[in-house]
Every structure is written in C-alpha cells, then in structure tokens.
Structure 1
Amino acid sequence: MATAAVTNSTQGTLSGLSRTAQNLVVALAWGAIMLFVFGYWVRSKTDGSTENVATILKIAFRVAGGLSALLAAWQAYTLWFKKESPDQKAASLIQQHLFVSYALLGGGLGLIVIGFLLGFGRNTTGSFVFIRENFAESFGSLLLGVISLCSGYLLQQPQASSGITVEFLVGKIPVLKLSQLVICALSVGTIIYLYYNNRDANAWRTYIPEMAVLLLLSLLAFACFLYLNTPNLDEFGIRLFVLLFGGIAGSLLFLWCLWRSVIWREDILLGGAAAWEGPNSYRFWLCAYVLFVSLVLMFFSFNLARADIRTNVVLRRVMYGYDTIVQGLLLVGILFILNVVIYALVPFTYDWTKTRGAYDVSEAGKNLIGKLKQETTIVVLMPQSAPVYKDLRVLLDNFRALNPRVHVNYISPDFDDQKYEELVNNFPKILPETNVASERRGVLIVYGVMPTKPEHNIPHSFVNERKLQDFEGGGGRGSRGKVIFKGESEILKELKFLAQGKKQQKVYILQGNDEVDMNGMGPEERIDVRGDYSKVGIGILVDQLKKDNYDVAGLNFGRELPDQKAPNVVFVQAEGAERRKNVPLDCQVLIVAGVTRDLPKEAMDAVDAYASRGGKMLVFLDLAAEADYKLRQTNLEAMVKRFGIDITDEVPLRLGGPGDERTLWATTTGKSDNPLSRGFTGQPIFMRRSARAIQPAAAPGRFKGEVVLHQELRRDRLTILPKDADVLGDVKKYVRSLVEDERKLQAVWRPKSFPLAVAVSEGDKPRMVVFGDTDFISNRDLEDSQTRSTNYAFVVSSLEWMAEREGIGAQPKVSSSFMLSPEVNVARMILMPGWMMLMATIALGTCIWVVRRR
C-alpha cells in the first residue's frame, strides 16, 4: 500500500518534474553561455594584468560556465535519452533537481562574492572604495548571483501545479505595508540627501531625474500603503496591488532610463566603445541594467496578476496589451545589451562592400596602431555636422579596438569653448592664424601621456580638416560632386612620424648612370629591352615618399657640370688620401633602380663598400639586352649574387590569362614568415614588361633570401622561361609557336611558381630587397589607379621592413562618397519612403482587421 502510494505520487509529479527539467536545460545552457561571455569579457578587460584576482576570475568564470553546460547536458540526457521507467525517471529527476539546486545556491554565492571583488578595491590611501570602471562587471555578477540563488531556492520547494501566484502574499499584508513605508521613507530621505549635499551652486539640478522619479515612487508607495489598509483585502485586491505597484514602479524606472539616456547621450548613445569602456562607462551600464530590471519587474508583476483575465474582459485586454508591450521591450533590451557585449568582444566596424570602403583599417595601419608603445590620444576637433565626422568616428573606433593605448576624445570648437580653450593653452599649434571657424577644425594627435600644463615636450601634431578630405566634381549646374575621405592616410602618416621621434629616414637614389630619373614627372616608359631607363621618371614615387616624411635625395658619383645641375641630387666628392668616393654616412637606405649597364668603377666600388659594411638597399633589376637581344649581365647583378640571390638568363612570360603575355602577376607566397609577404596577401602587383629572373641561392650562407613575391603556379596561367630575349620582339608569334608545338612548350614551361622579389636578411637583420622589375615604380604605373596604391605600398613597406618598423602592409585607401546635386529635394527623398511605409502598414493592418472579423 505504502509503495503503491509512493509510486502513484511519483507518477503524478512526473509531468511537473519534466517541465521543470526542460526549463532547467534551457536555463543552465543560457547560464553557461552568459558565464563564458562574462569570462571572455573579464579576460579582454584584464588582458595583460598580473594581479592574482584577475587570473582567478578568468579561471572561475570558465569553470562555472563548463559546470553549467555539464549540468544542462546531464538534465537533457536524463530527460530525453536515458531509458527508465516513469518511477525511476521521476526519482532520478528529483535527485538531480536537488543536486542542481545546491549547485545553483553555491554558484550564486560565488557570483555575489565575485561581484564584490570586482566592485570594491583599495585606493591610494588603502581604504576600500567602489570602482566605477567595474560597475558593469560587478553589477552583472551580482545580478547573475541573485538569479542563481532564487533559482536554487525555488528548485528546492515542493512541486506546485499552478505555478507562482499571489496567494502567498495574502497572509503577509503587514509585511507589504511595512515595505511600502520603507520605500517611501528611503525615497524621501534620498531626495533630501541629494539636495542637501549638492545645494551649493545649484548642483542639485544635476540629480533632477533621480529626484523626480524618487518623488513619484514615494507617492506610489504611500498610495499603496493606504490601499493595503483597506479592510477585508482579499486575493483579488492583492493581485491588483501587485499589478499597480509593479507596473508603475517598472514604468518609472523605464522613464528614468530614457531621461538619463538623453542627458548622458554622449556616453550612452553617441560615445561608442570609447564611452562604454572609459571612465564614465558606469553610466551606460547603469541605464542598461536598470532598464532590464524595470522590464523584468513589469513582466513579473503582470504575470502574477493574470489569474482573473478569463472573467474580467477589461483586465484581459489591458493585461494582454501590457504583456505584449513589456515582452517586446524586454526583447529589445536583451538584444541591445547582447549587441553591446558582442561589440565589446569583436569591436571592429566592418564594411561588406566590394571595395571595403573607409571602415576597413589597412594592414599598415593595423601594424602601426597595434604596436604603439605609448599612450596615444586623438582629439577630434569638429562638430557632429562636419562632413568627415562619421567616417572619422568609425575609423577611430577601429583604432581603439586595435590597441587599448589609443584614446579618442571629441570636442566641438563651436560649442565646447571651455574644453577648446584648455587645449589651445596646452597645444598652441591648433590655434588658427585667422578667425575663420573652419580653420579650428581638425584632429590633434598626442603621442604620450596627455599633458595638463602648457610646459611640456610631448610629441604632438595637428591635422587640419582640409587635409582630411578632398572634393571632386560638382562644379556645373546639376552635377554631382564627390567627397574623398583621406583621414586614415593623413592620421597614420602623422602618427608614424611622431612614433619615430619626428626623425625622417634618409633615402638616397642612385643617379647619373642612365638609371631611372628621380626628378622626371612624365609618363615615358622603356619600350625596348635593349634601351635604358634614363627617360623613365619616378618623380611620383619620390614626391609621395617626401609627403610620407622620408628624406629623399639623389646620389651621383660623377662630376657636377655647371649647366647640368639636377635638383635635390648630391654629387659625391672624393675623400681621404686615396681620394675615394663613398656613400654618405647618413644614408639609411640606398635605392638602385633601372641599371642596364655596368656602373662606373667609382660608383660600383662605393655601392659595394656600402653594402659590405652593413648598408641596406632596395634594388630594382630588369631585363637588359644587347643589340642582338642577348641578355646582358651587369656588375650590379654580380654584387647582388654575393648576397644569396641567383640571377639567370631567362625571360619569364605568362601563358594564359587575359592581357599581354609579358605582364606578370606578382603575388605573395603565403608560406613565408616575412612581414612583407604576410602584409600583402591578396594584393597583386603587375609587372607589365616581363622581369629579371631571380631566386634565392640554393645553398644560402651568411645571407638568407626569402621569396616575398612570385608568379603563382596555376593551371590557367603557366610560366614559360625562354632563354633568348628576342622573343620579346614578337611575343604573340612566339606564343602561337608554343601552342602549335607541345614539345617546344614543355622545354620552356616551369612547373612551379616563379620568384619575382626576394628579401635578404643577415641573421635577424634585414639587409636588402631585390625586385626583378623596375617598371612597376615608374610614373606610368603609379599614375594608374589600379596599380598605384599596391605598388607604392610595397616600396614603402620594404623601407619600413629594413628600418625594422611597424608600417608594413597595404597602405590606407581613400574612400569617396557622392554629394547629391543641389537641385535634388532631399526632404522628399526622406519623406516619401516614410509615407509609403506608413500607408502600407495601415493598409496591411486594415486587411488583417477585416479578415479577423469575418
């Protein structure tokens, strides 16, 4: 009899136990996700910290998340997969629920302890204070702990078929009345405290939202106290009290969040990650948590008071309406907080367009920003209405995500007069010479700790708003203009200059031996491999290097003739007893480009001596042929061979693919650890008129060569290596002959990738980068919009690699946005879609209303 009774009782509760187990699976899985996210958040915030507490917290959250996931899996296995009789399953679930309840109680206590550890710490005087910067983590841990404690307590209570109701409150009316008096007294006392402590200079006005909400809350609590004194208050009266107090109190908290969000909009709505993780981050998280609590309070009170919805039509309509609104607001709040958490974990702003636009930081920018060694502050001095403000904000948010040492502030010179004057006192450079308002706008970059006094030597620079943008078109009536955003390139250029101590890298370009002309600005190109490069200009490359703070000059070992003075060219004078000419001692990189004949002995000896004593070089080779098209070897190539690079008498051509067969598609190897190779993945360089055949030496010695550019082996793009340069006379005819004669094709086909640029190191020190092509740095190629950016970026990155600096990779792009014609009615463009959507919504709602009433 007793056994049967127990069995029947167990079977009767199996349905309730199963529902509880299902809820537990979802809740524990959600808890595991939240704990893992919380742990990752704490880890990202304390990354690099050496404090024991930070290490313990990282481990604690991971362990707690893992245990929660295991408990969820255990419940799911017992509920859905374990084969047991109903009696056995009920007994197993009861035991599991008891174990889980203890785990939740222990975990809740642990989370509350962690919340206090995160929220309180010692200040400089040794006393405990609340840490505002950790408000989000502290309150979140406390909230999760309270939820865990309540869940564990409820799980230990007997199963109830009707769920949680207000019946338990009927016998506790005195406690409810006392709670209302306490809330009323605390609210009034807090109002008095805020006013008394902030009565000087009307500072109490700062707390008007809190004082207003507390006043209304005190009135609500007092009214509920009077209501609870009503004689013979039954269950329906308690239900009405719960509905009124919970709904109105939650609404007051919700309104406070909206009010404070408007007042703190710079830190909550407009500040982005800079505000959400800065010294005022508590503002955002305070509003977020109070919003969450207000929605939960309204939702919970409405659900407690819904027992009479089937008998009371008005109550049913109100309850369903409020329930829908509250659940919708709760969903929006959860999604909003989740979006912020995801943004904090993956803080980059992505641009999914084909060109990647202004929102994708260049590889060179990532390397530079990510390796900044000092605190860097970027102050944007412009109003939000400025044309480049939005692009700047997105760009600088990505900078902050790359390095926590980067701090960004936004000050409008037109509205924040006090802050602007403080900056002018500390940085007079930003003060414009004229009184034009637009001249005060720009970006201040401070490399180092932000000074508080005018007397400082902190490196800084100011980029005027004019440099951040260009305008094209839009001159004619009805024409459409284009705004070009150059913020990334200008800011990175100045920041790199500051990080280098405002020192320019000295670069010399060899001149006077029929090499490329560093002062030439024309688009001339070398057509015949039997000619030289004396008419080919690289002035665009030189000008751009100077704009990027390189000190560039020519180097000539010949005699300076009075009637042939070349600008910006240094003529080397003989020195010492032996009257030898040497590369200047201030030379940091020597560029030798377009040498097609032996260099004069004086020049060759100087270059050889410079390289032998540890000098760094950029060497641009190319095909050079005699009159009979026989390939010519120069003494420069003989010197390069001593640095671990083999040069062969072959003419690389491309068979297959669109365009000229002489055009080689140089790409990075993807296998090298060299930064030059890693920084240009997917960035091809077009070498238009074939190239010199180079490759690392098969048996490297003192010097190590790494292939950084090659023509990749592809089935649709073969590399052929004929021995004679005369094939360049009529490439099409030669290719046709290969197609017709497979044996001839097999003789010249190279069944593997073909090197086109090699980086040479001595130990771990960069020494030289040798390219098999010279044309890709000519004006002709740098004027081409398709090749300009990548070609120049690879040259600059080579200079940066040899200087062992961080600016390696594809350079910043300039992005453009179109301006509408002045004749376009912008208001109509905004209003028309809005009206159309409104009409469509009304029409759809009308159709649904008609259908439901048929």
Structure 2
Amino acid sequence: MSEPQKEKPRVNEGKEERMDETERLQGVRRMHATVGTMFALLIFFQVNYLAFRHFERWDWTSDARFTLSERTVTELRGLERDVDFWLLLSEGEPAFADVRELLERYRAASPRVRVHHVDPDASPGEMRRVAERFDIALSTGEGESFADVALVVSSADRRWKITRDDLVSLDLESFDDDAGGPKVDVKAERAISGALAQVLRGRPTKICVATGRGEAAMAGDRPLFFLREELERENAVLEDFDAVGLREVPEGCDAVFVIGPQRPWEERDARKLVEWARAGGNLLLALDPVFAREAIQATGFEAPVQDLGVSIDRAVVLELDPRLLLRRDPSDLFRVMVFGEHPTTTALMARGGGLAMNLVRSVRVEEGADATALFTSSESAFGETDLGGLVADADLLAGPEDLPGPLSLGAALELPPIPSAGEAARRGRLVVVGDSDWLAPELLQEPAFANVDFFLSVTGWLTERDELLEIAPRRSNLQAVVMSEGDVSGVAWRIFA
C-alpha cells in the first residue's frame, strides 16, 4: 500500500495574499493622498477667494503712515457708487511704492474702489490714452512720457487730478535740524481723500469770512491761505465779505467765521449776525483779547452772546501748570488738554496732543445754559482782570477780582430759534473761542498739536458735514535709514542664520 502523498505548503499563495494586502494599503494611501490634496487645493482656493473679497493689510511703519484715518475709512465705507483711482507714476519714482501701498489700503476698505496703474515709461501708449481721456497735458521725449498729474480720481462723470506736489513735499526749513535730515511731508492721504470728496459731492460748502475790523481773512495782513487749502481738500471754499454796516449775510453762506477782529464790532452788527445764526445759520467767533490801555476792549459780541448763556470775559487766562507751558510766559503759548464732551472735541481726545493756544480770554458757560464748555485750563490757571497788575505783578498770584481756574476757553451751543421762525425751524449753531491764534498756520501745520483737527471738526459740526468730525489724515515725517557695515552684516546674519 503506497504512502499518502504529503500536501505541499502554499507558500506562493501566502506571498500573493501579502502582496494583495500591500497593494490594497498602498491604494488606500494613494486615494487618501489624492483626496487630501484635493481638499487642500479646495481650501486654498476658498481662502484666496475670501482674501480677494475681504482682505486685511497691516501697517508696521513707526508712524503708521499707511493706516487710513477714521475720516477716510468712514468715507470709503459709505460709498454708494464706484470710484476709480488712476496712478500715473512710474515704478522707478521714489514716491511710487508708498502711494501704491496707500491706494491698496483704500481698495481694502471698500469694494467700490478700483485701482489702476499706468506706468508712463513702461506703457507710453496706454499713458497717452489715459491722458487724452482725462485731459492731461503730456510731455514726451526720447521714448518717455511725463505728466505733472500723478493720480486721477474719477466717479461717474466727475474727476479730480492730483499733482506730484500734492502727494509729497520737502520741508526745506528742516535741512538744518539736528534730528537727522530734512522732513518729508507725505500728504498722499490728505490729497487722495480730498479728491474723493470733490468727486462725490456736488456744491462745495461755502464758508463766509467777515472782514472790515482787522479780522484774519483771505485778503489782508493775516491771510488764511492754509485754511483755504485744508478746506479745498474737503470740498469747501472760503469767501470774504464786508461786515461793516451789516445789512444781511451773503446768500449761500453755510457758515460765517469771525476770526480775531482787532477793532470792536458795532453791537447792532454783532446782534444782526447772531440773529442770523438763530434763524438757522452757523457762526464761529474766535475772539482774541485786544488791549486798550489797562483793559481788554469790548468786541461787540459780549451782550448778544450773554443773552444765550455764554459769557465772554474781559480776562486773560494765565496758565501756571508748568507741564502745559510751551514757553516760559504763562500768558503765552500753552497746551490745552482737558476737553468737554462734544462732537467737535471727539477727534481731539482720540488723536491726543492737545490744542495749542496763545493769549486767551475765558469763555464761560453760565449755570443753566444749554451750552457745552469745549475745553478748559488747568486748576492752576486763573483769569487776570487787572492788566496793569499783569505787568507789575512778578509773582503772578490771583487777586480777589480775578477768575479762579479751571476756566472754560471755548463753548458751543445749538441756538434757540427766533419766535417768528416756528418750532419746526432748523436750530442754528454757535462756537465761541477766546483766541484766534490757534488758527495760525504754524500751529495748524504742527503735527504735535491737534489744532487742524479741531478746526475741521468745528467746520464739520457747524455745517453738518459729519465726516469732518473724524480724525484727519496725519502728516508723516520720513527719515532715511542709515546703516553701518556692521548693521548690514547683523541683518544678513539674522536672515540667513
């Protein structure tokens, strides 16, 4: 009987099973990798789409020069129609990178903003077409195109051109500064936002400036050129009018400014102007203490304004807090840092820096009056009523007739309408400040102070231009980065280490 044949081990079958399992696992891994890659690509495209529609930019510069002001952001978020920005600088120009970055901030703030760049050197043909479209004078030579216009802002059928000088200027007076070189005033945001206001609004806001008694005005010894430039950027204009023997305020005035009269107003004229404000007008009184012998002479506005609950005192404010003095004389230039709650002071408090004033008289709100004290001196200050004693008294101590601090230096109120106007009549607005030197160009242009913010806020509140109540675009002070060979080596080591 033959022995039973032994069954051979299924070695090959085991190997095949293991190979099948390995291939299956590899296939699963490949499938997972493919699906994961597809999901990653999907997420990548979704993130990029969202970034295109809703993106954020950060500003790491020391002076935050690429951070748009609150006023600009408010304007952009309220856009109701598309606005196009045409940048006409070549990429080789020094200001190109900064202006382009700033325009990207505008685009990021509103989907209504579209930014176009036409390089006159790289695309001379396109530059000629844009110049013809916007009526821009173009100089050509040796294959290059040049225009003084650096940027055009357009919306619908309105357009506004911005020159190179409007974007950046050099402060020639700072060449000898010890701070390390000339100051560069980057005015791009102010110029661009001003152009935006021009194309979005129709009739400009009209500010009428009273003249005839030595006031600061467009013409004369105390011209308001800087104020005019600031207001033109905001689609507002200044116009003088003769207020001597006032019969009526010129037609179309959205507000009247009386800035630092050197001679008294006749009370009849002053009352007529205040009555115009009570009938729905808007009035700014910036009244310096004008000396007559040993007293402050009357302005003519004391009685009409007193009837409204605001007292324009015949007292010079002496600020004795050394932390607020900008010069040694307490009656001279000093900083105001305490503000009341009012729309005109919101930007002041948010911006910081305070308000610089010089030789101020107190403007007090009487008890029970429907008015707001805008800003006050420190508790150390007092109002000197005896100007003869001001010269003779070296100790500068408050006397029994002097006004104790803190003292209000400005007031604002909505005026009660005149009886004949009816209850539905618009209430006029009045701002009284016991100084006009805060409107001096050197103080308005000084970035350490918020004088220009207060001026624009007052203008905005009086004329109901709410966007002017926001913080104004800043002035930048750019300096070149000076690096030694060791500094460069240190930076390289940090990058490549």
TM over 0.5: yes
SS at 1:676 equivalent: coil
Tell me if structure 1 keeps the 8 A contact 2:271–2:301: no
Q: CA deviation at 1:497?
A: 1.9
> Counterpart of 1:515 in structure 2: which amino acid?
E
TM-score by length of 2: 0.74
Q: Distance in 2 between matches of 1:594 and 1:748?
A: 23
Structure with greater helix share of residues: 1
Q: Residue in 2 aligned with 1:406?
A: 113
1:460 aligns with 2:113: no
Superposed, which structure 2 residues align to 1:413-428 within 5 Å?
413-415=120-122, 423=130, 427-428=133-134
**Counterpart of 2:316 in structure 1: which amino acid?**
V
Q: 1: CA distance between counterparts of 2:19 and 2:211?
A: 95
Match of 1:801 in 2: 461
Per the TM alignment, residue 619 of structure 1 is displaced from its structure 2 partner at its CA by: 0.5
TM-superposition CA deviations, 1:308-353 (whole Å, max 9, x none): xxxxxxxxxxxxxxxxxxxxxxxxxxxxx9xx79x968x3533563
TM-score normalized by the length of structure 1? 0.46
What corresponds to 2:303 in structure 1?
638
Q: Does 1:390 align with 2:79?
A: no
> 1:686 maps to what in 2?
356
- Deviations, residues 236-262 of structure 1 (Å, cap 9, x unaligned): xxxxxx9xx89xx98x999xx9xxxxx
Alpha-carbon distance between aligned partners in 2 of 1:582 and 1:351, rounded to the nearest angstrom: 54
Q: How does 1:535-614 map to 2 (within 5 A)?
A: 537-545=222-230, 547-548=232-233, 549-558=235-244, 581-595=247-261, 597-600=263-266, 603-604=269-270, 606-614=272-280
Match of 1:815 in 2: 476
**1:661 and 2:326 equivalent?**
no
Aligned: 1:286 with 2:45: yes
- 8 Å CA contact 1:790–1:811 kept in 2: the answer is no
Q: Deviations over 1:794-851 (max 9, x none)?
A: 2233222222111224432332434589xx9x9x79975566568x94xxxxxxxxxx
Whether 2:157 is the aligned partner of 1:495: answer no
1:171 to 16, 21, 31: 21
Structure 1 residues 164-194: Cα deviation after superposition (integer angstroms, max 9, x where no partner) = xxx99962636866998xx9xxxxxxxxxxx
Cα 1:415–1:634 change in 2 (3 A) is closer
Matches within 5 A, 1:783-798: 785=446, 790-798=450-458
Letter in 2 for 1:636: F
In structure 2, distance between residues paired with 1:648 and 1:622: 11
Q: Is the 8 A contact 1:727 1:734 kept in 2?
A: no
Q: Contact 1:667/1:684 (CA < 8 Å) preserved in 2?
A: yes
Q: Which residue of the other structure, out of 511, 529, 536, is the alignment partner of 2:211?
A: 511
Cα distance, 1:711 vs structure 2: 2.6
For 1:504 and 1:656, the matched residues in 2 are separated by 42
Shift of 1:729: 1.9
Counterpart CA distance in 2 for 1:475 and 1:593 is 33
CA distance 1:643–1:462, change in 2 (3 Å):
same
Residue 361 of structure 1 corresponds to 68
Correspondence for 1:725: 387
Match of 1:375 among 62, 77, 82: 82
Q: Is structure 2 residue 282 aligned with structure 1 residue 616? A: yes
Task: State the alpha-carbon separation in 2 of the partners of residues 412 and 460 from structure 1.
Answer: 20
Contact residue 89 and residue 119 of structure 2 kept, 8 A: yes
Q: CA deviation at 1:418?
A: 7.5
Q: Cα gap change, 1:375/1:785 in structure 2, threshold over 3 Å: closer, same or farther?
A: same
CA distance in 2, matches of 1:443, 1:168: 72
After superposition, the Cα gap between the structure-2 partners of 1:830 and 1:647, relative to the gap in structure 1 and judged at 3 Å, is: closer
Aligned to 1:699: 368
The C-alpha deviation readout for 1:566-600, integer Å capped at 9, x for no partner, is: xxxxxx8xxxxxxx832211222211122355423
CA distance in 2, matches of 1:489, 1:415: 28
Q: Which amino acid aligns with 1:506?
A: K
**Using the alignment, how far apart are the partners of 1:678 and 1:746 within structure 2?**
34
SS at the partner of 1:675?
coil
Counterpart Cα distance in 2 of 1:396 and 1:491: 9
Q: Secondary structure at the match of 1:693?
A: strand
Distance 1:404 1:643, change over 3 A: farther
Whether the 8 Å contact between 2:348 and 2:453 is mirrored in structure 1 is: no
Alignment CA distance shift 1:386-1:253 (3 Å):
farther
- Tell me the residue number matched to 1:273: none
Are the structure 2 counterparts of residues 344 and 726 from structure 1 closer, same or farther at C-alpha, using a change threshold of 3 Å? farther
Q: Which of the pair has the greater relative contact order for Cα pairs under 8 Å at 6+ separation? A: 2
C-alpha deviation, 1:767, in angstroms:
1.3
Query: Structure 1 residues 366 and 644, CA, compared in 2 at 3 Å: closer, same or farther?
Result: farther
Matches within 5 A, 1:131-280: 171=21, 173=23
Q: Does the Cα contact within 8 Å between 2:85 and 2:116 map onto a contact in 1? A: yes
Q: Which 5+ residue runs of structure 1 have no aligned equivalent?
A: 1-166, 184-241, 258-281, 290-336, 449-456, 522-536, 559-571, 573-579, 739-743, 842-854
Q: Is the 8 A contact 2:139 2:145 kept in 1?
A: no
Contact 1:710 1:754 in 2 (8 A): yes
Q: Deviations over 1:88-110 (max 9, x none)?
A: xxxxxxxxxxxxxxxxxxxxxxx
Q: Quick check: 1:429–1:462 contact (8 Å CA) kept in 2?
A: no
- The amino acid that maps onto 2:23 is I
Q: Which amino acid aligns with 1:734?
A: D
Q: What residue number does 2:10 align with?
A: none
Match of 1:760 in 2: 413
The answer on whether the counterparts of 1:541 and 1:792 sit within 8 Å (CA) in structure 2 is no
Is this contact kept in 2: 1:430–1:444, CA < 8 A? no
The structure that has the greater radius of gyration is 1
Distance verdict in 2 for CA 1:497–1:644, change over 3 Å: farther
- Tell me the distance in 1 between the aligned counterparts of 2:209 and 2:188: 30
Q: Is the 8 A contact 2:124 2:145 kept in 1?
A: no
Deviations 1:353-400 (A, max 9, x none): 3xx242233344344334444332323233443322322233234334
- Verify the 8 A CA contact 1:594 1:774 in the aligned structure 2: yes
Supply the distance in 2 between the matched residues of 1:362 and 1:484 (Cα, whole angstroms). Answer: 16
Is residue 734 of structure 1 aligned with residue 434 of structure 2? no
The amino acid across from 1:461 in the alignment is: W
1:696 is aligned with what amino acid? V
Task: Please say if residues 509 and 552 of structure 1, whose CA atoms lie closer than 8 Å, have aligned partners that are also in contact.
Answer: yes
2: CA distance between counterparts of 1:285 and 1:415?
33
> Equivalent residue for 1:776?
438
Q: Is the 8 A contact 1:380 1:442 kept in 2?
A: yes
- The answer for the alignment partner of 1:439 in structure 2 is 147
Q: How many Å separate the matches in 2 of 1:598 and 1:812?
A: 37
Q: Residue in 2 aligned with 1:66?
A: none
The 3 A distance-change label for structure 1 pair 465 and 515 is closer
Seen in structure 2, the aligned counterparts of structure 1 residues 400 and 676 have a Cα distance that, compared at 3 Å, is: farther
In 2, distance between residues paired with 1:168 and 1:512? 107
CA distances 1:703-753 after superposition (whole Å, capped 9, x unpaired): x4223322355xxxx22234433343246x132x56xxxxx6998543xx4
Gaps of at least 5 residues in structure 2 are: 1-16, 417-425
User: Does the aligned pair in 2 maintain the 1:363–1:808 contact within 8 Å?
Assistant: no
Identity, in percent, stands at: 18
Cα separation, 2, equivalents of 1:619 and 1:499:
30
